[in-house]
Amino acid sequence: MPELPEVEVVRRGLAPAVTGARVVAVTVHDDRSLTRHPAGAIDFETRLVDAVLVAAVRRGKFLWMPVAGTGEALVGHLGMSGQLLLREPGAAGERFERIRLDIAHPVHGELAVVFADQRTFGSLAIDRLVPTTDGAPGGLGASTPLVPAQVAHIARDVLDPAFDDEDFRRTLARKDSAVKRVLLDQTVASGIGNIYADEALWAARIHPETPARALTTRAVRALLAQLRLVLEKALAEGGTSFDAQYVNVNGQAGYFAHSLNAYGRAGLPCARCGGPIRREAFMNRSSHFCPRCQRPR
């Protein structure tokens, strides 16, 4: 379940391998991994062959690799189970391999970039780059104020230097919805999924059903601080892996699952007060929180 830290780990792994690399060949095994590229597999392959990739950029859970001289980028979203793996040229196919790019790098030589995805919620696409609305770089790893058109509506993430804390507070003050629902809204702040929403709310002692507008300025600041702490710690530990569905570009799992305080700990004692963590249905998924430390307001 890749959220911001997991996608950032992938971006950092990809960046040195793809920056300056030329795409030699493209193989689409499964059209379902091109749902973000409506022109289809042949168009995708044709436009990508001979393209030179100039960076690996991330905003929230979206990754993209700008293509030199075209005003376009190769865009990717990992969905729930997507993986971008670096493999030796000619390596055997992955179990859920959907798309493979063969690339040639001037320093590292030939490599394969494999997009594997069990549940096919993820997708790749070629998309045009458009200017950012605030004039800041499009995302982490970008040197220009450009973002793929299909990512333009996604907010900056809380680790982005251009993230506007005050604008975030004003947005929450206008929302009647539960604060967790707002945290999962990628047009408010990107990169936060179910795991890190639960963890940050636990750390900030905020009940997930608290109406966003009920949070004081101090509570919003505390929430932002905890979001950043949780995401940075997860990043330092290589992300959260519960199974084989999240791995870095080398196929290795992250370790943050051992540091979780709320998510996935239903019935286990709260690390703060010792009371049992509760799991409740929320938005077709689950919320995990401590009913003693995170009281409804």
Residue 53's contacts (CB-CB under 8 Å, 6 or more residues apart) are: 18, 19, 20, 21, 22, 23, 65, 66, 67, 68, 74, 103
Question: Residue 216 CB, nearest distance to DNA (Å)?
Answer: 18
Nearest to 180 by CA among 60, 66, 285: 285
Residue list 10-69, contact with DNA (CB under 7 A): 32, 60-62
Choose, from 3, 6, 8, 45, the residue flagged as catalytic.
3
Question: Residue 288 CB, nearest distance to DNA (Å)?
Answer: 9
Residue 88 annotated among the catalytic residues of the structure: no
Residue 77 CA to residue 124 CA, distance in Å, equals 7
Choose, from 2, 5, 148, 208, the residue flagged as catalytic.
2
Residue 254 CA to residue 119 CA, distance in Å, equals 20
Q: What are phi and psi of 279, to 5 degrees?
A: -115, 130
Beta strands in the chain (DSSP E): 22-28, 57-59, 62-67, 72-77, 82-87, 97-105, 109-117, 123-131, 146-148, 278-282, 285-289
Residue 61 annotated among the catalytic residues of the structure: yes
Question: Residue 166 CB, nearest distance to DNA (Å)?
Answer: 18
State the binding string over 108-147 for DNA (x if CB under 7 A, else -): ----------xxxx--------------------------
Q: Of these, 149, 233, 283, 297, which contacts DNA (CB under 7 A)?
A: 283
Choose, from 47, 59, 61, 87, the residue flagged as catalytic.
61
Verify binding: residue 193, DNA, rule CB under 7 A: yes
Contact (Cβ atoms closer than 8 angstroms) between residue 82 and residue 113: no
Residue list 150-179, contact with DNA (CB under 7 A): 150, 153, 174-178
Question: Residue 59 CB, nearest distance to DNA (Å)?
Answer: 10
Residue 97 annotated among the catalytic residues of the structure: no
Residue 112 CA to residue 89 CA, distance in Å, equals 5
Residue 233 annotated among the catalytic residues of the structure: no
User: Where in the sequence numbering do the catalytic residues fall?
Assistant: 2-3, 61, 285
Binding site for DNA (CB under 7 A): 1, 3, 32, 60-62, 77, 79-80, 96, 118-121, 150, 153, 174-178, 181, 184, 186, 190, 193-195, 263, 283-286
